[in-house]
Chain A
């Protein structure tokens, strides 16, 4: 497998306001093309901030983000939106847009200010809904969907952007067992069939091995450990990352199970 970074963050530093403590302190992340990568770490460790920096939603106070080797700051927002799709933690709107309308917003990087979507855009949106098995939601108002269904719609919107890379912030947080597995299946299928690159922020360590290719473990705004799941999901590494010596990682049934002793 080639080791070509699609998105790379180098020495990233960030604070939400001048004078407030830095939440990201020199983090380096390489999102390698065609790989499924995960960003894990304790609450408040800076995972979500790192993924926002990589998505170009925040500007680092030091360090830089490269998209295909080009500094992200020099990539026009519209081009960035065609190449990188970001899905925030829980999309909430108070207006009852239909699922299709929401997915169609993913086509805006391809239309202009005064043009509505074409038939081609409509096809792309429907294909995106089909790719996550959510065609039946098309005409439903998103305000009436369950958390899991909304997450699928958000993912379909990201796919409608026809991006090279997906950046997902805790997509499995609101999902039950079945939908979590479904989400991982969708991501795996996208990687295997289209070579999709993805970086996923998650607390579900048990979902990582064997489906993910690479794990970045963040502690206090820095990457404390990185590598394939089998190297990161170890008692000593996780104890360091989470600051908790009760964390256990054990292999069984071809997966690595992770929990913390109560």
Chain B
């Protein structure tokens, strides 16, 4: 008993030290802790699966090596890349809209991206324009369009109506989902099947090729968002104040839309809609390390990677031989968190 109490006291003072007033110190400490979490998550995700990792076999068996380096490792990496992306975008969108319930799914960005991607698949996704996979470009365009629609609807003058924002996001998602279904019915059989497989959402990947191609789009998006962390921090406190402190509000907002749409579009085009990662992850980071957006964004990036690797590990193993869509796992975990936040944020319940 004594031992556990001591442990909890110890933990409490640890957590308190994580909330040190100097944001720079807090970020460094937080990233240190989170990289540990990331390493452990990566090892766990690599370890578990339909077949447990077997070091002996890995050294002797050619097939085991092929499975590990050609399938398992790329998949874990893909989960990390997608999770980091969604965590970062969620943190950025929440700050920009001053709404803790904002994330790619609730704002309709994922829906728009999914519609764009399915249009591309229906018309033959293999094609490339100027070396870029059409499906990425289409998903990016769809995501952009939905961000603009949702934002225009919710903004009046200098304020963004929080209720209108989420409602518009939900409606855009619903319309986009209907669009995907319609396209599926009109597309020829094999492509319809392709769309269906893709809408379920999976991080299945063979080799590293696709991951490198994604990174060409994702890295610039990540860099833009992280460079805007300070502007977003000021915007999260108050928009007019941010402007008076020298933030070019319109320009920062535009950059955040474009970067977020790019990131979400590409992840949706590859992995389908994976909801609520951008909601749960930044929220967990805030509880642990405080509200400073300059801390929350990089931390959500790292924790997002760890979270989706673990969620995907669950998806791969829960059914034994079969596999659950990872989007179902994140939605099952994230839906209740969303509702809990909604309840806490009574003002949103009243719209």
Contact = CB atoms under 8 A, between A and B. Distances in A.
- A and B associate in one complex: yes
Interface of A: 16, 55-57, 76-78, 80-81, 84-88, 91-98, 100-102, 104-106, 108-109, 113-114, 116-117, 119, 122, 154, 157, 161
A86 to B, nearest CB: 4
A85 B245 CA distance: 8
Query: What DSSP secondary structure best describes chain B's contact surface?
Result: helix
B72 interface: no
Contacts of A117: 22-24
Nearest to A126: B21
Interface in B227-278: 227, 230-231, 233-234, 236-238, 240-248
A95 B246 contact: no
A171 to B, nearest CB: 14
B316 interface: no
B292 interface: yes
Contacts, number: 92
Contacts of A80: 246
Nearest to B95: A95
Contacts of B24: 116-117
Contact of B244 (A76, A81, A92): A81
B241 A88 contact: yes
B291 A109 contact: no
B99 interface: yes
Contacts of A106: 245
Contacts of A157: 241
Given A77-B247, A105-B242, 7 more contacts: A57-B244, A92-B238, A95-B100, A95-B291, A97-B236, A101-B23, A105-B245
Contacts of B292: 97, 101
B25 to A, nearest CB: 8
Contacts of A57: 240, 243-244
A92 B236 CA distance: 10
B22 A86 contact: no
